[in-house]
């Protein structure tokens, strides 16, 4: 009984929900429309609830650091939790588009986010120089195509040598698109298989930890 | 000799990074004003908006995160200028990115729609961030539209929402995004069922994975945010995009030079090692 | 055009400089930018501080929009009398039982609904958008009745798609035996061309982004009073903090 | 009753689902045979090199959770970890797994211990030292892995799983310290970084095949065989379609549009 409720039932809910959503798309049935519309609303509300997970995880990890006084970490942990509280407090109580919120957002989060992700550019540049070497056929292909694209992506060179635009256009529309399409067809089948496995209860990652009965 | 080649083959990263930084800073201090060619994809995007009949409504997804703003922001600014400048178009914004509201505020502060006589609620509205990505797209697609805007104000009385029921009410879909879930999600949730014409602006690194859709006709025009300068030229409103063009040129030339240097050093070292072994 | 641009920037800075709050904001944003970039050179305390700020802020930002969305899409209809929304509210809260040692399995029910919607939305569209539409587009390519360059390109395109799909067949080893292995080699070469192209595009992407941040530091922050002195100071401190704790006199 | 224009898609979806389920059932009786995967074949050589150099082997799975959509990639990575650990134990090479997600720790410990037992070297396994939980924050985790790379200069680095921006940092850093690298991910945006910088590459779906081949899990194996049949269907449809288009017949196109 308990295994049914704890394991089979959630899987059944997945299948029924998925079948409803698909049926509404493929079949002209009046009954499914309103149900699926409600389901989509629910999906959004549940996704919104799930947005809080990150903060809870951080809270668990960093309160542990603070209580254990992990060396070289706990002061940062206090600061991190303070930032969570600051953003949540200002955003919820004053408003996410208030002057105050926009101020902290632009001063910290915006600047940091944009910088952190762009910093990988340094590694890509270094990787370009170190790894784009003509060692064998594959690396020659990488080098030649990469080199052409590098030159084309410099607007000044592209303007001076329009042939670069033509060559790049060819690389883009013939080998790149076709190879990506082959990969896409494979990946689409992978996604379909994942969906099917989830619906028949063979992919149970979402169930999380296992209960006693399931072990 | 071979030790010199060895050094050139493995220049310390601090040196490389330093030169890379200089390649940014020098053109920023004294811009060269190098030319910028305009690509066919950008022209197509521009023409698509230009060809919209008066009174058309556009769905615009602020799908980029703060991390991608430096690349996608300038393009979004240029397109927004174009839409307002052309006039008689209604823009309905929504955000599938959690930063899509704050970044929209920044975008509007930069564009200043009032200079074109555009009014919030009449010509444009922002429905706010909606969690769930593809679920959110599907929900807006089937309708009904949310009842409030991003600030929680009722939108029922706003003229911009007149006659808007679901995806079929839109003549065009635009998405600026840093995420594959968004750029591909719109193809799945809107283009596939409703055949809405779709303009997609993504990070340059996402272009190759999006190409199969483009070639299959599921996207009208696919561009990267790095082409903002080209759109600014078409628009005749210079901004961040044009400013970045010199830097982009110089950085690419530097990296290309390093790639060439690395290869020469690699082969020279091999040759000198080979000759030593032989001799 | 360019000059106008530069002048425009200058004026902006002037206007902003009047407002103290903006000045502090710019200082903070600029310092965070410098600290975040320092990571590319070496891990250090300032980077660690910046990173924790970022992670905390992002989590806080998510909470803000969790509340915003729950309020707009859940609470508003509920307070207007749609009682069914009480159930979904409850389910939303039940999601958080995942942190409970004993009752964590309760969270499987709301998750099952989310997963079910996700699977349904994805399956129904993927089969068309990423499978049939791609087959259709490839099958519809003309190799006769077009000029020879187009015919060649289309033929090459078709051959590459077919080879790459072939490459990804894993469980029928007979397809890859003997000389048929050449098909896979060719597919791999074609994919390498695509990856080389993507790699170069990634560099373009990152350069544009780095430009955005450096532009901010140089044209928004540096013109502010004192910034030009603060920059070298910040850099010296950064370099100092990159020295391993054992090798520097203080702090250990 | 079906919407026009969605009939063929519906039929195709049902057909594919049935094929996949059928293959999973069949795999319970007999596992499908896999073709050779060039990347996997490189592993013994990489571990051998580490043994010669007397340096460790590093392994990591990137970001992502066991409960999310990228979980299958993580599972595939762990299957490779089991195999790699056994190899390392046999050669007497130390293998270190850098962990991002704490929930993986118990699974990985079990996997690695079993691998050491299979190699007959149970006593050589040092859990504390070899499975290192670094951080659940992307850049802190990345910084820790990079720090490890610079300090210990492992002879080989293997990365299989769902990678995000850290792929670029890892690939470059391990390349610079001279590690020979095998990498694989199904996250499309990250594959190019691995392709350019790493010595051996598992491209996209290949990591699932590698995982299924090594774990001998009938569900995974059967699922891959089902997908393979889907690929063959796609292949034949494209091939026939091109011929029909060349012959001027719109038959297939009309069918697909149904």
The domains found in chain D, sorted by start residue, are: 1-31+218-233+252-256 (no CATH), 38-215 (3.40.50.720)
The whole-number average pLDDT for the span D233-250 is 96
| Closest chain A residue by Cα to residue C153 | A174
Start-to-end CA distance of chain B, whole Å, equals 15
Q: If contacts are CB pairs under 8 Å, which of residues 196-235 in chain B contact chain D?
A: 205-206, 208-209
Q: How many domains does chain B have?
A: 2
Has residue C217 been placed in a domain?
A: no
A192 with D66: Cβ contact below 8 A: no
A203 with D72: Cβ contact below 8 A: yes
| Interface predicted TM-score (ipTM) | 0.95
pTM of the model: 0.94
User: How many CB pairs (< 8 A) connect B and C?
Assistant: 145
A123 with D10: Cβ contact below 8 A: no
Smallest CA–CA distance, residue D201 to chain B, in Å, is 18
B206 with D176: Cβ contact below 8 A: no
| Amino acid C40: pLDDT | 85
**D92-151: per-residue pLDDT in tens?**
999 999 999 888 998 999 999 999 999 999 999 999 899 999 888 888 899 899 999 999
Cβ atoms of C70 and C92 closer than 8 Å: yes
Cβ atoms of D136 and D37 closer than 8 Å: no
Contacts D204 to C, Cβ<8 Å: 168
Other C-beta atoms closer than 10 Å to the C-beta of A4 total 10
- In b/e form, how buried is each residue of B190-216, taking b as 16+ CB within 10 angstroms? bbbbeebbbbbbbbbbbbbbbbbbbbb
Say how far apart CA D239 and CA C139 lie, in whole Å: 7
Contacts D249 to C, Cβ<8 Å: none
Contacts B244 to C, Cβ<8 Å: 208, 211-212, 215
The domain boundary residue, chosen from B206, B221, B238: B238
The whole-number average pLDDT for the span D177-206 is 95
| Amino acid B278: pLDDT | 53
Has residue B35 been placed in a domain?
A: no
Model confidence at B168, in pLDDT bands (50, 70, 90)? very high
**A158-208: per-residue pLDDT in tens?**
999 999 999 999 999 999 999 999 999 999 999 999 999 999 999 887 787
User: Domain containing B116: what range?
Assistant: 40-238
Q: If you count DSSP H runs as helices and E runs as strands, how many of each does chain C have, helices first? A: 10, 0
Q: How many domains does chain C have?
A: 3
Cβ atoms of B210 and C200 closer than 8 Å: no
Say how far apart CA C28 and CA C48 lie, in whole Å: 15
Contacts A135 to C, Cβ<8 Å: none
The whole-number average pLDDT for the span A116-135 is 91
Residues B79 and B199 in one domain: yes
| Amino acid A200: pLDDT | 95
B256 with A150: Cβ contact below 8 A: yes
Closest CA to C169 of A86, B119, D235, D120: D235
**A74-85: per-residue pLDDT in tens?**
999 999 999 999
Residues C64 and C4 in one domain: yes
Of B13, B206, B209, the CB nearest to D176: B13
| Closest chain A residue by Cα to residue C49 | A76
A25 with C124: Cβ contact below 8 A: yes
Say how far apart CA A122 and CA C40 lie, in whole Å: 7
Of A57, A120, A187, the CB nearest to D165: A120
A180 with B20: Cβ contact below 8 A: no
CA dihedral A54, A188, A207, D191 (to 10 degrees): -50
**B224-268: per-residue pLDDT in tens?**
999 999 999 999 999 999 999 999 999 999 999 999 999 999 999
Residues C14 and C67 in one domain: yes
Helix (H, G, I), strand (E, B) or coil at C9: helix
A190 with D205: Cβ contact below 8 A: yes
The answer to whether C37 contacts chain D (CB < 8 Å) is: no
Contacts C132 to D, Cβ<8 Å: 8-9, 12, 256
C171 with D221: Cβ contact below 8 A: yes
Has residue C93 been placed in a domain?
A: yes
Has residue B193 been placed in a domain?
A: yes
The answer to whether A194 contacts chain D (CB < 8 Å) is: yes
Which tokens go with A206?
């979402």
Has residue B161 been placed in a domain?
A: yes
D188 with B205: Cβ contact below 8 A: no
Of C138, C143, C199, the CB nearest to D196: C199
Residues B208 and B102 in one domain: yes
Residues C123 and C186 in one domain: no
Contacts A116 to D, Cβ<8 Å: 139
The answer to whether C94 contacts chain A (CB < 8 Å) is: no
| Closest chain A residue by Cα to residue C82 | A38
- In chain A, where are the structural domains located? 2-51, 53-118, 134-197
Has residue B99 been placed in a domain?
A: yes
Chains with 3 or more CB pairs under 8 A to chain D: A, B, C
Residues C116 and C154 in one domain: no
| Closest chain A residue by Cα to residue B35 | A156
Residues B140 and B254 in one domain: no
| CA torsion through residues A180, A183, A187, A188, sign | positive
Residues B21 and B59 in one domain: no
CA angle C134–C138–C142, rounded 5-degree value: 155
Cβ atoms of B230 and B79 closer than 8 Å: no
Which among A120, A123, A126, A140 is the top mutation candidate for probing chain D, defined by the most D β-carbons within 10 Å of its own β-carbon?
A123
| Closest chain A residue by Cα to residue C88 | A42
Has residue B268 been placed in a domain?
A: yes
Residues C151 and C199 in one domain: yes
Contacts D24 to A, Cβ<8 Å: 197, 202
Other C-beta atoms closer than 10 Å to the C-beta of C168 total 24
A186 with D227: Cβ contact below 8 A: yes
| Closest chain B residue by Cα to residue D172 | B13
Helix (H, G, I), strand (E, B) or coil at C170: coil
Residues B207 and B128 in one domain: yes
**C97-108: per-residue pLDDT in tens?**
989 988 999 999
Say how far apart CA D22 and CA D24 lie, in whole Å: 5
| Amino acid C54: pLDDT | 95
Has residue B84 been placed in a domain?
A: yes
Contacts C47 to D, Cβ<8 Å: 143
| Amino acid C108: pLDDT | 93
**B39-53: per-residue pLDDT in tens?**
999 999 999 999 999
Contacts D188 to B, Cβ<8 Å: 180, 209
Residues B18 and B143 in one domain: no
C201 with B189: Cβ contact below 8 A: no
User: Domain containing C91: what range?
Assistant: 83-140
User: How far, in whole angstroms, is CA D228 from its chain's centroid?
Assistant: 17
| Amino acid C197: pLDDT | 96
| Amino acid C202: pLDDT | 95
The answer to whether B167 contacts chain A (CB < 8 Å) is: no
User: Tens-digit pLDDT profile for chain C (252 aa)?
Assistant: 444 444 444 445 445 445 899 999 999 999 999 999 998 888 889 999 999 999 999 999 999 999 999 999 999 989 988 888 899 999 999 999 989 988 999 999 999 999 999 999 999 999 999 999 999 999 999 999 999 999 999 999 999 999 999 999 999 999 998 899 999 999 999 999 999 999 999 999 999 999 999 999 999 999 999 999 999 999 999 888 888 878 888 776
Residues B224 and B154 in one domain: yes
| Amino acid B256: pLDDT | 97
Model confidence at D44, in pLDDT bands (50, 70, 90)? very high
pLDDT at B166 over 90: yes
| Amino acid C5: pLDDT | 43
Has residue C216 been placed in a domain?
A: no
Has residue C213 been placed in a domain?
A: no
Q: Which has the minimum average pLDDT: C230-244, D9-23, D149-163?
A: C230-244
């Amino acid at each position: 009984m308990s295994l049914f409720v704890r394991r089979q039932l959630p899987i059944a809910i997945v299948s029924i929900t998925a079948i409803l959503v698909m049926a509404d798309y493929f079949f002209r049935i009046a009954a499914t429309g309103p149900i699926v519309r409600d389901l989509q609303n629910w999906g959004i509300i549940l996704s919104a609830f799930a947005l809080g997970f990150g903060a809870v995880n951080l809270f668990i990890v960093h309160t542990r650091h603070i209580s254990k006084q992990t060396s070289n970490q706990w002061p940062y942990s206090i600061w991190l939790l303070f930032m969570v509280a600051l953003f949540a407090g200002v955003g919820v109580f004053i408003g996410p588009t208030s002057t105050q919120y926009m101020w902290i957002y632009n001063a910290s989060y915006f600047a940091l986010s944009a910088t952190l992700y762009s910093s990988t550019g340094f590694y890509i540049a270094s990787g370009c120089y170190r790894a784009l070497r003509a060692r064998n056929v594959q690396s020659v292909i990488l080098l030649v195509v990469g080199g052409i694209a590098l030159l084309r992506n410099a607007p000044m060179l592209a303007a001076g040598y329009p042939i670069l635009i033509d060559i790049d256009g060819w690389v883009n529309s013939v080998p790149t698109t076709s190879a990506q399409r082959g990969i896409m067809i494979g990946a689409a089948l992978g996604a379909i298989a994942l969906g099917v496995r989830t619906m028949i209860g063979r992919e149970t990652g979402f169930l999380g930890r296992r209960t006693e009965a399931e072990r | 000799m071979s030790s010199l080649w060895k050094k050139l083959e493995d220049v310390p990263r601090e040196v490389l990074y330093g030169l890379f930084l200089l390649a940014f800073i020098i053109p920023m201090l004294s811009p060269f004003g190098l030319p910028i060619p305009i690509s066919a994809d950008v022209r197509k995007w521009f023409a698509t908006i230009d060809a919209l009949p008066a009174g058309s409504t556009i769905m615009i997804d602020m799908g980029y995160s703060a991390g991608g703003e430096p690349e996608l922001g300038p393009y979004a600014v240029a397109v927004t200028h174009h839409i307002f400048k052309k006039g008689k178009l209604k823009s309905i914004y929504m955000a599938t990115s959690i930063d899509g509201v704050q970044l929209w505020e920044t975008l509007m502060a930069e564009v200043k729609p009032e200079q074109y006589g555009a009014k919030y609620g009449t010509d444009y509205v922002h429905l706010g961030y909606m969690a769930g990505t593809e679920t959110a797209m599907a929900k807006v697609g089937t309708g009904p539209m949310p009842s409030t805007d991003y600030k929680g104000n009722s939108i029922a009385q706003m003229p911009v929402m007149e006659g808007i029921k679901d995806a079929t009410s839109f003549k065009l879909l635009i998405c600026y995004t840093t995420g594959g879930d968004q750029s591909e999600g719109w193809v799945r949730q809107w283009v596939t069922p409703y055949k809405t014409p779709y303009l997609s602006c993504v990070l340059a690194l996402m272009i190759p994975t999006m190409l199969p859709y483009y070639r299959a006709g599921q996207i009208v025009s696919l561009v990267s945010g790095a082409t903002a300068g080209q759109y600014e030229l078409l628009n005749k409103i210079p901004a961040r995009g044009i400013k970045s063009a010199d830097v982009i040129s110089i950085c690419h030339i530097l990296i290309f030079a390093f790639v060439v240097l690395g290869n020469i050093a690699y082969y020279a070292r091999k040759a000198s090692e080979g000759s030593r072994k032989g001799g | 055009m360019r000059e106008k641009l530069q002048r425009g920037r200058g004026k902006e800075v002037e206007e902003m400089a009047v407002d103290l709050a903006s000045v502090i904001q710019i200082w903070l944003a600029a310092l965070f930018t410098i600290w975040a970039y320092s990571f590319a050179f070496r891990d250090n305390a300032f980077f660690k501080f910046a990173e924790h700020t970022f992670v905390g802020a992002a989590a806080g930002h998510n909470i803000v929009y969790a509340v915003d969305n729950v309020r707009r899409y859940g609470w508003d209809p509920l307070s207007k009398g749609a009682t069914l929304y009480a159930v979904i509210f409850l389910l939303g809260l039940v999601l958080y039982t995942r942190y409970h040692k004993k009752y964590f399995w309760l969270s499987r029910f709301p998750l099952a609904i989310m997963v079910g919607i996700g699977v349904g939305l994805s399956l129904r569209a993927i089969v068309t958008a990423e499978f049939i539409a791609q087959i259709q587009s490839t099958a519809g390519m003309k190799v006769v009745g077009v000029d020879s360059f187009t015919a060649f390109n289309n033929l090459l395109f078709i051959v590459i798609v077919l080879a790459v799909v072939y490459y990804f067949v894993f469980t029928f080893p007979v397809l890859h035996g003997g000389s048929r292995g050449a098909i896979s080699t060719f597919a791999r070469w074609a994919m390498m061309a695509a990856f080389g192209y993507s790699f170069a595009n990634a560099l373009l992407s990152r350069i544009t982004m780095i430009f955005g941040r450096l532009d901010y530091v140089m044209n928004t922050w540096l013109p502010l009073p004192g910034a030009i002195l603060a920059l070298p100071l910040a850099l010296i401190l950064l370099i100092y903090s990159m020295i391993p704790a054992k090798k520097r006199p203080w702090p250990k | 009753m079906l919407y026009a224009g969605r009939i063929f898609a519906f039929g195709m979806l049902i057909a594919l689902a049935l094929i996949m389920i059928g293959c999973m059932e069949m795999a319970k009786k007999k596992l499908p045979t896999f073709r050779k995967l060039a990347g996997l074949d490189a592993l013994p050589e990489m571990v051998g090199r580490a043994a010669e150099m007397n340096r460790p082997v590093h392994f990591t799975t990137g970001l992502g959770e066991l409960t999310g959509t990228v979980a299958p990639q993580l599972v595939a990575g762990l299957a490779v970890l089991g195999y790699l650990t056994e190899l390392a134990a046999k050669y007497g090479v130390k293998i270190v797994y850098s962990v991002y997600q704490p929930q993986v720790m118990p699974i990985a410990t079990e996997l690695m211990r079993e691998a050491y037992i299979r190699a007959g070297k149970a006593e050589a396994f040092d859990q504390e030292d070899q499975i290192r939980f670094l951080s659940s924050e992307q850049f802190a985790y990345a910084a820790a892995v990079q720090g490890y790379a610079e300090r210990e200069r492992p002879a080989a680095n293997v990365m299989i799983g769902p990678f995000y921006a850290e792929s670029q940092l890892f690939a470059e850093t391990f390349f610079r310290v001279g590690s020979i690298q095998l990498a694989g991910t199904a996250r499309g945006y990250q594959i190019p970084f691995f392709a350019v910088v790493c010595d051996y590459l598992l491209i996209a779906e290949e990591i699932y095949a590698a995982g299924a081949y090594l774990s001998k899990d009938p569900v995974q194996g059967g699922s891959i065989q089902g997908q393979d049949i889907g690929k063959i269907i796609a292949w034949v449809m494209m091939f026939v379609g091109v011929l029909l288009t060349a012959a001027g017949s719109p038959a297939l196109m009309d069918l697909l549009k149904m």
